[in-house]
Amino acid sequence: MSETWLSRAAAVEARTRDLRHRIHANPELSGQERETAALVAETLMSLGLAPRTGVGGHGVVCDIAGGTPGPMVALRADMDALPIQEETGLPYASERPGVMHACGHDGHTAMLLGLALVLAAARDRLRGTVRLIFQPAEETVAGAAAMCAEGCMDGVSAVFALHAWPGVGVGVIATKPGPVMASTDTFEIVIQGSGAHGAYPHLSRDPIAIGALVVTAAQQIVARRIDPLEPAVITFGTFHAGTATNIIPAGATLTGTMRALSASVRALLPRALEETARGVCASQGATCSCTISTGVDPVVNDPAWTALAIDAARVELDAGSVAELHTPSMGAEDFGVYLRHAPGAFLRLGIGDKAVGHDCRYDFNDAAIVRGITCMAAIAEEALGAAARLSAP
């Protein structure tokens, strides 16, 4: 072996960084990734590849066939930005008011293009096909399902993704088998009480006071109805009611998010929330309606493919570049949708102590690019070998 994945990744670092800055300067909201997808497709075509565009919205799928036929493994990057006004002051800061890459998806997309640059020049090393999935609409957890519905996982034996992670050392890969990201489902509770003058509360069924009871009682679900060894979150994000200081309104609307790491807890949360909201409202002479919007599954890493990914990263980088992850995040990701179609692993890529995700001062760290590409190339090669062994008679 003349060249390592690390040296091949280093050779494409400058071009990948330029692509990252271009994407960062031109962020597009979920479902609107037209220009980003065009840049992705154009870059892939310049390598002689034949990307499929318009998959599940603005998604792009591109297969890189190796020198030897074999199984197929996939790597995914997300392309969408967030509705945040950037305040980094960077020379390549967002040129679109109110829109910025504050979750590292500019880095993910650029690194997957960097991987394409590396693999297109090293096809003879691959025994099978590497599929690159450029996904729209991750922040609205809609893109993965839309792409899978249009066949992006057909024929894929294993699937992987890297996500930039503030707070982890620059270029350090961290993951674990089992749950790594939570499910998310949202709720809306509309309380119907009755209004009155603020001076005469006994003539009302005060939906604000009742809503406050609902918020408090909902925390009892996590504290008392769920196994303390099972993580769960119920967060109320909005509580809207009323128009003036001296008027008790007739109604209140509360919305929020529920998170879980297992299917059983995820199933219990909406049932328990509705029971609690109805029970509290009934006890106060009010009624309510409870609407649940189903989000995405937890991301649960397959133990065998996770071990393969960790080993591949360790061999290609060095032992200190791979950190054992002990606890999952209660954040959500739609990568779990791909894992319904094939096993795989979701890995964190450390970007150091920069601003936290979804913050107006966030910037992906270019110093993580080479290690990110190296890790993905090593995983792709090893996963093709493992998939071939599994399918061998």
Under rule CB under 5 A, which residues in 313-342 are in contact with Zn ion? none
**Closer of 184 and 204 to Zn ion (Cβ):** 184
> How many Å apart are CA 263 and CA 284, to the nearest integer?
33
**Closer of 268 and 375 to Zn ion (Cβ):** 375
Q: How far is the CB of 103 from Zn ion (least distance, A)?
A: 3
Q: Sign of the C-alpha dihedral, residues 315, 321, 324, 328?
A: negative
* Token digits of residue 41: 């497709």
Q: Give the count of residues interacting with Zn ion (CB under 5 A).
A: 1
Which residue in the block uniquely carries the two structure tokens 């998959």? 55
Considering only CA atoms, which of 262, 89, 236 is closest in space to residue 180?
A: 262
> How many Å apart are CA 188 and CA 186, to the nearest integer?
7
* Token digits of residue 377: 């190339």
CB of 60 closer than 8 Å to CB of 51: yes
Query: What is the SS3 assignment for 340?
Result: coil
Q: How far is the CB of 64 from Zn ion (least distance, A)?
A: 24
Q: How far is the CB of 143 from Zn ion (least distance, A)?
A: 11
CB of 165 closer than 8 Å to CB of 174: yes
Q: How far is the CB of 59 from Zn ion (least distance, A)?
A: 16
The amino acid at residue 181 is: M
CB of 236 closer than 8 Å to CB of 255: yes
**Closer of 305 and 335 to Zn ion (Cβ):** 335
- The residue number with the shortest CB distance to Zn ion is 103
Catalytic residues: 80, 138
Under rule CB under 5 A, which residues in 7-66 are in contact with Zn ion? none
Compute CA 122 distance to the chain's CA centroid, rounded to the nearest angstrom: 29
The strand pair at 299-301 and 127-135 is best described as unpaired
* Token digits of residue 234: 């119920």
Q: How far is the CB of 299 from Zn ion (least distance, A)?
A: 12
Q: How far is the CB of 51 from Zn ion (least distance, A)?
A: 22
**Closer of 167 and 285 to Zn ion (Cβ):** 167
> How many Å apart are CA 20 and CA 41, to the nearest integer?
15
**Closer of 103 and 133 to Zn ion (Cβ):** 103
323 - beta bridge partners? 174
**Closer of 23 and 103 to Zn ion (Cβ):** 103
Under rule CB under 5 A, which residues in 77-116 are in contact with Zn ion? 103
* Token digits of residue 106: 């500019």
**Site residues for Zn ion per CB under 5 A:** 103
